[in-house]
Amino acid sequence: MSSLQNSETSLAPVRVGIVGIGTVGGGTLKLLTENAAEIERRLGRALQITRLGARRDPKGIDISGYAVERDPMAVARATDVDILVETIGGTTVARELVLLALQHGKHVVTANKALIAEHGEELLAAAAEQKVSLVFEASVAGGIPIIRALREGLAANSIDWLAGIINGTSNYILSAMQQESKAFAPTLKEAQDLGYAEADPTFDVEGIDAAHKLCILASCAFGVPLDFQALSIEGISNITLEDIQYADELGYTIKHLGIAKRTDAGIDLRVHPTLVPKANLLASVNGVMNSVLVQGNAVGPTFYTGAGAGSLPTASSVVGDIIEVARGFGETERNSTPSLGFTELKPQALCSAEESTSSFYLRMTLTDEIGALAGITSTLAEFGISVEAMLQKEPRMADGEALATLIVLTHEVSKGAVDKALAKIKDMAVVRSDVTVMRMEQFQS
């Protein structure tokens, strides 16, 4: 046996308190127990669960062998806890709990994306004040160590952009709509029945959850303050099967992406359904898996995939963070890597929604008459929008009138220009439907 580090014999165990024994907290408890031997070999000392916080006994998880506090705040104040794990979720009690724990000099590990995206600035300041760690790998993309990749592995890079499938529910629904040729509503119902979507699916299908995660990724990528309000957010509830099939016909798959991009107009942060070329790695990620594609100025594109949710995959990241914090215990008692990868977060110019550029997919219904198409293309040209591809479907009869569906794929252009062109196009007599607008990304390096 060759000892490579920690020649000191038998360091005292690092003491862990877990508050919230649900899916993630229960997984954390299980993992700390079942993988204890391997973890001790990696850390060079044991992790000991000294205290649990649970308002009531959890279903299906035996916590009888532990010191259980009914008041979560008691764990934050306990003198026998070095690292507090917050897995209760939400942003009210969780915020109080984390602040209290930090004020009591405890390191905090959390999987709570909403908490970090919305209150991260306050909490990180409290951690810095107390010289303790606040880490949250599990808050983005479950078991994929993507925060660590940005913060450490790619730390030498200036990040050009990143794009991720970071909401498993949305990806499950879009994949199932495509594979089973089903509409949104019944597919959501099926996802709910299978436990892949919540009874109230708003957070997932309206893009809020993905936006929380993108907010955190953007800070890790660019060192900008956590600013949830800065994001432009669109979910998948308006995606039709028709659009999925047209996109397919044109060589694209529709994915719900979080995108953070450095542009001349500032940092562009947006969450929305996106047409992705089928050859791109992101297009082949189906079901509840998460993936992030990161373009660094030195490394080029790198791609990370894994389980984005679930008890043990998320616990894998929580416990990875516990190990990281515990590895820092020594003379300084503090992990030396900044939580977001930058020692100082610096506000940078943000790109407005109007200035934000990409290619676009436009779908509309036109009367099948001479000049209809020419009217559309000349209006697009008027606003500087050039067309990359166009698809006109066979006309169909409706109310005695021939109507045809037109799909236009544009070259890269600002959203502002598209909005202006569409305002004019919508008023044209030949246009007989709303215009569906979706972003397209080519992900060129």
Q: Which of 12, 194, 299, 349 binds a copy of itself (CB under 8 A)?
A: 299
Binding to a copy of itself (CB under 8 A): which residues in 33-72?
35, 38-39, 41-44
Residue 207 CA: distances (Å) to CA of 92, 105, 183, 253, 315: 21, 35, 18, 18, 23
Q: Which of 179, 202, 238, 284 binds a copy of itself (CB under 8 A)?
A: 284
Binding to a copy of itself (CB under 8 A): which residues in 183-242?
223, 225
**395 touches a copy of itself (CB under 8 A):** no
Q: Which of 18, 116, 214, 307 binds a copy of itself (CB under 8 A)?
A: 307
Residue 106 annotated among the catalytic residues of the structure? no
Q: Which of 9, 56, 199, 298 binds a copy of itself (CB under 8 A)?
A: 298
Is 13 or 44 the residue whose CB approaches a copy of itself more closely?
A: 44
Q: CA 147, CA 153: separation in Å to the nearest integer?
A: 9
Dmax (CA) for the chain in angstroms is 88
Q: CA 277, CA 286: separation in Å to the nearest integer?
A: 14
Single out the segment in contact with a copy of itself by CB under 8 A; choices: 119-127, 163-171, 175-183, 394-402: 119-127
**139 touches a copy of itself (CB under 8 A):** no
Question: Minimum distance between the CB of residue 432 and a copy of itself, rounded to whole angstroms?
Answer: 42
Single out the segment in contact with a copy of itself by CB under 8 A; choices: 60-68, 233-241, 314-322, 365-373: 314-322
Q: Please classify residue 224 by burial: count the beta carbons closer than 10 Å to its beta carbon, then call 0-12 exposed, 13-18 middle and 19+ buried.
A: buried
Strands (E), 35-178: 47-53, 68-69, 83-86, 107-110, 134-135, 159-165
How many residues lie near a copy of itself (CB under 8 A)? 81
Please give the DSSP secondary-structure letter assigned to residue 151: I
Distance of CA 61 to the CA centre of its chain: 28
Is 120 or 273 the residue whose CB approaches a copy of itself more closely?
A: 120
Q: Which of 62, 105, 179, 281 binds a copy of itself (CB under 8 A)?
A: 281
Q: CA 387, CA 364: separation in Å to the nearest integer?
A: 15
**137 touches a copy of itself (CB under 8 A):** yes
Q: Regarding beta strands 134-135 and 107-110, do their DSSP bridges make them parallel or antiparallel, or are they unpaired?
A: parallel
Is 155 or 194 the residue whose CB approaches a copy of itself more closely?
A: 155
Neighbour count for residue 110 (Cβ, 10 Å): 29
Annotated catalytic residue, options 213, 255, 261, 415: 213
**444 touches a copy of itself (CB under 8 A):** no
Question: Minimum distance between the CB of residue 38 and a copy of itself, rounded to whole angstroms?
Answer: 5
Q: Which of 20, 168, 235, 341 binds a copy of itself (CB under 8 A)?
A: 341
Which residues fall within 8 angstroms of residue 262, CB to CB, at 6 or more apart?
A: 158, 159, 160, 161, 222, 268
Backbone CA torsion sign across 334, 320, 170, 285: positive
Q: What are the catalytic residues?
A: 213
